[in-house]
């Protein structure tokens, strides 16, 4: 299954939509949570700065400038590590105590970037206040706060990525499984469309929507199969029931012709009636034959069939008939290897080719050329019957394989309208498909057999 098709599937699109909606909600929640975490961290940092400031302020209130300077000096580890900054200035701005010097610091809270003992830059949160007439600046590094903020941001990003990946992956898996089930249902329905009405859609134990639909379709297929079987049975029964009286009528007419003697008019009428009876008999024979083929009764007769030899035999039989009708029938150069063999029923394939050739002879003009060929392309065996006659209009091509359908609505030409129906039935029995191609002028009928039938 290609990615493009998977992305266009309904389950994947629904999954993507729900993932997108969830991501929007998750992103909104993450933004709110991130702002709350960042606000809390910076408030805690300001509180920590003020705690250090009040320690020095308490020492100043107790012992004056000396007490404040002593307290700043007692914070030796913090001063040496440059995690906390202290600056105590006198009335004239002179340096009294601390571990950093800057020209000016605005009153209240501010930020400052300086270098620690390792030479790398460090960010500080500063607070400047007054101790009597002196000025005190206290700063605390907020690099850890920034790291915590970045950790929270990365965590939210990873959570979003995991949700996105899991959602799309789950959607792709769901789409793949659903499309695989739909593909199975589609292949089954193709078999039904090919005439195998006994086929049923598979139903799983999940009892989901597809299973409910499959059950309903199976019920409809069962009813359709019953109806079609009943119609076929009626057709077969009628053909069987009429076969005997038609045969008797044929014999009676033959006897009447023999007894007509010299009465030319009576003899002509009887011969006309005999021809009509032959036409009726041919129609019923074709109907019975099509019913037998569609029932699959001839599958047991399958064996190796050489398509090239079959067409040579057809040429030998039908070439004199074509010449008598003023047409030219010939073999065209074969495509591919000389030997083309499939698995099939030779008698039925012979009948199929005979019908196609007879159709071409009947429906082409005087002097028309009819060509026969076979071959295979990419392992697909085929036979072609082509002519340079009037062809078949594109709008009519899907209809010509229906029973009793004829392009000539007046029905003045010979034929039962069942020739191409029999061709279709034989092709379906062999798993082949028929392609009608315009030749400008003329028509090419290609019967393509499945790869698996090539032997």
**Residues 338, 308: contact at Cβ < 8 Å?**
yes
Q: Where in the chain is the domain with CATH 1.10.287?
A: 209-294
Sign of CA dihedral 242, 420, 433, 384: positive
CATH topology of domain 300-453: Heat Shock Protein 90 (3.30.565)
For residue 29, the model assigns a pLDDT of 81
Using alpha carbons, select from 237, 266, 344, 254 the residue that is nearest to residue 298: 344
Listed as ranges, residues in the chain with pLDDT below 70 are: 1-12, 76-82, 116-120, 194-195, 228, 231-244, 250, 260-263, 267, 274-300, 335-338, 403-417, 452-455
* Beta strands in 327-439, from DSSP E residues, in sequence order: 328-331, 341-344, 369-377, 380-387, 433-438
Q: Which residues of the chain are in CATH 3.30.450 domains?
A: 3-147
What is the per-residue pLDDT for 1? 44
pLDDT tens digits along 172-210:
777 777 777 777 888 888 777 766 777 888 888 777 777
| d(C-alpha 95, C-alpha 42), whole Å | 29
Provide DSSP, 294-329.
HTTTTGGG-EEEEHHHHHHHHHHHHHHHHHHTT-EE
Calculate ∠ Cα 247-251-252, nearest 5°.
115
Would you state the torsion angle of the CA atoms of residues 359, 353, 417, 278, taken in this order, to the nearest 10 degrees?
100
| Residue 373 contacts residue 311 (beta carbons within 8 Å) | yes
pTM summary value: 0.47
- Residue intervals in the chain for CATH 3.30.565.10: 300-453
Give Cβ neighbours of residue 61 (< 8 Å, ≥ 6 apart). none
CA dist list (Å): 318 to 125, 321, 361, 386: 105, 5, 9, 15
Q: Which CATH class is domain 3-147?
A: alpha beta
pLDDT tens digits for 281-314?
666 666 666 666 666 555 667 788 888 888 889 8
Between 1.10.3210, 1.10.287, 3.30.1490, 2.20.70, what CATH number should domain 209-294 receive?
1.10.287
Q: What is the pLDDT of residue 127?
A: 92
Residue closest to 420 by CA, chosen among 435, 400, 439, 438: 400
Q: What angle do CA 275, 278, 283 make, to 5 degrees?
A: 130
């Amino acid at each position: 299954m290609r990615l493009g098709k998977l992305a266009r599937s309904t389950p994947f699109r629904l999954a993507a939509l729900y993932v997108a909606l969830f991501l929007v909600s998750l992103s909104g929640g993450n933004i709110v949570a991130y702002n709350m975490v960042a606000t809390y961290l910076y408030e805690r940092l300001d509180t920590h700065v003020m705690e250090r400031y009040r320690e020095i302020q308490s020492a100043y209130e107790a012992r004056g400038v000396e007490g404040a300077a002593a307290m700043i000096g007692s914070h030796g580890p913090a001063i040496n590590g440059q995690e906390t900054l202290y600056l105590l200035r006198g009335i004239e701005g002179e340096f009294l105590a601390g571990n950093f010097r800057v020209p000016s610091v605005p009153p209240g809270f501010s930020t400052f970037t300086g270098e620690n003992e390792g030479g790398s830059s460090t960010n500080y949160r500063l607070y400047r206040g007054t101790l009597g007439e002196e000025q005190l600046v206290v700063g605390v590094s907020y690099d850890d706060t920034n790291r915590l903020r970045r950790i929270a941001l990365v965590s939210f990003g990873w959570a979003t990525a995991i949700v996105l990946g899991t959602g799309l992956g789950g959607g792709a898996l769901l789409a793949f499984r659903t499309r695989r089930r739909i593909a199975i249902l589609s292949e089954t329905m193709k078999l039904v469309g090919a005439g195998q009405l006994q086929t049923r859609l598979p139903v799983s134990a999940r009892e989901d929507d597809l299973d409910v639909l499959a059950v309903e379709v199976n019920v409809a297929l069962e009813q359709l199969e019953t109806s079609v079987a009943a119609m076929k049975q009626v057709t077969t029964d009628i053909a069987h029931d009429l076969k005997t009286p038609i045969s008797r009528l044929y014999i009676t007419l033959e006897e009447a012709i023999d007894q007509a003697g010299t009465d030319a008019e009576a003899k002509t009428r009887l011969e006309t009636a005999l021809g009509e009876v032959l036409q009726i008999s041919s129609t019923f024979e074709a109907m019975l034959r099509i019913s037998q083929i569609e029932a699959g009764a001839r599958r047991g007769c399958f064996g190796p069939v050489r398509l090239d030899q079959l067409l040579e035999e057809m040429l030998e039989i039908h070439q004199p008939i074509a010449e008598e009708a003023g047409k030219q029938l010939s073999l065209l150069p074969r495509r591919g290897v000389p030997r083309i063999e499939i698995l099939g029923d030779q008698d039925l394939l012979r009948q199929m080719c005979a019908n196609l050739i007879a159709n071409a002879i009947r429906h082409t003009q005087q002097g028309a050329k009819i060509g026969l060929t076979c071959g295979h392309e990419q392992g697909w065996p085929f036979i072609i019957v082509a002519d340079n006659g009037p062809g078949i209009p594109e709008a009519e091509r899907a209809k010509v394989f229906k029973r009793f359908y004829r392009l000539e609505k007046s029905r003045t030409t010979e034929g039962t309208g069942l020739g191409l129906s029999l061709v279709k039935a034989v092709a379906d029995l062999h798993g082949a498909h028929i392609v009608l191609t315009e030749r400008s002028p003329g028509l090419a009928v290609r019967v393509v057999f499945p790869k698996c039938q090539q032997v």
